[in-house]
Amino acid sequence: MKNKTSFIPQEGEARPSRCPDNSAFKQQKLPAWKPQLTITTVLSSFFLTGAFCLSAGVCLILSANSVREIQIDYSDKCSDCSKLRENSSNWNKECHCSVNFTLKEDIVGDVFMYYGLQNFYQNHRRYVLSRSDAQLLGRNVNIQKSYCAPFTTYRNGTPMAPCGAIANSMFNDTIDLFYNLNSFAIRVPLLKTGNSWWTDKNVKFRNPKSYNLSSAFAGTAKPPYWKKPVYLLDEEDERNNGYVNDDFIIWMRVSAFATFRNLYRRVSRVRQFVNGLPAGNYTFHISYNFPVTKFKGRKHVILSTVVWSGGSNPFLGIAYVVSGTAVTLMGFVITAIHLKLRKKKTYFQK
């Protein structure tokens, strides 16, 4: 009992205070700004916000519509190659096809070449996780403890480099563009480097350290669906080989939608193409390797320019216009309600 009553203050003793200190901070007496919402400030905010969104939306839509773009679907035009690729036993057989098209007007400025896939679901949870970021950083890791399964090792224990379903399904069609001028086919110079983000090239992807790239990947094997190992992705440029290959890096950035496009090449502005692509007849020469018939997919090649707001997607502009319209309409509704209530108040005062 003594222990229980020893903390009870005796008669005449001061009880310890539980009140916070008498400071401006603890007593919540700091200076503050509290907006006084009046009908004028509320309506002004609604109409100004609506005007801003509508103006920004119109500018974005006009900017997106100014993009020059041509899209070629070569799924059916390369039907013979598509049928060949349906049989997995033909994986080592080459198949080429050509697609002709005409540019009626010049495409002026920087021209970007994309490949597009339709009905290819990269957003599946297991597919998105099927990679080893530690391996892609060039570290010596045990990939069997990663999410790469079943694309981790072969039956003899040889690890795959790179591992995972994303890397294994990498887009591997080869696309060349030719300009047909006076019965001569002129190869359009295309840039295959400088297409990935700086953070990807220098932070997220690195090759293992060794005196050469082939020895760095010694003891590993290519993924099952690849034709050549990762250290031969670009034999002409050591800085674009292995895990830091631009095509590989761009493919590893998975899409949230089933229909998407990835940057493939940029037109080098030299010789006849210093101002872009002149009007005339062109041909795509395609080495067909990526099968799409099993998942009912389609393949496209897109030539496009870009503007300050990006590509030809008008979604952001439409979103701004819809938001601005909704805010402006809400402002008119509030105005009508205010006038109606003020009229009632004036009537009752009389």
Question: Residue ranges of the domains in the chain?
Answer: 73-107+123-256+278-300
Distances (CA, A) of 299 to 41, 71, 113, 138, 335: 53, 10, 13, 32, 52
Rounded CA-CA distance 326/53 in Å is 10
Q: Which residues pair with 100 in a beta bridge?
A: 283
**Comparing C-alpha atoms, which of 120, 148, 124, 268 is closest to residue 220?**
148
Rounded CA-CA distance 347/73 in Å is 69
SS3 of 124-159: CHHHHHCCCHHHHCCCCCCHHHCCCCCCCECCCCCE
Rounded CA-CA distance 278/272 in Å is 8
**Angle at Cα 62 formed by Cα 57 and Cα 63, nearest 5°?**
95
Residue whose structure tokens are 């920087």: 110
Residue 2: its pLDDT value, please? 47
Residue 15: its pLDDT value, please? 65
Rounded CA-CA distance 222/300 in Å is 27
Rounded CA-CA distance 292/122 in Å is 14
Structure tokens at 127: 């597919």
Report the chain (350 residues): mean pLDDT per 10 consecutive residues.
52 68 82 83 93 96 92 90 80 88 92 95 93 92 88 92 94 95 91 92 91 89 92 91 95 94 94 92 94 90 91 91 96 91 64
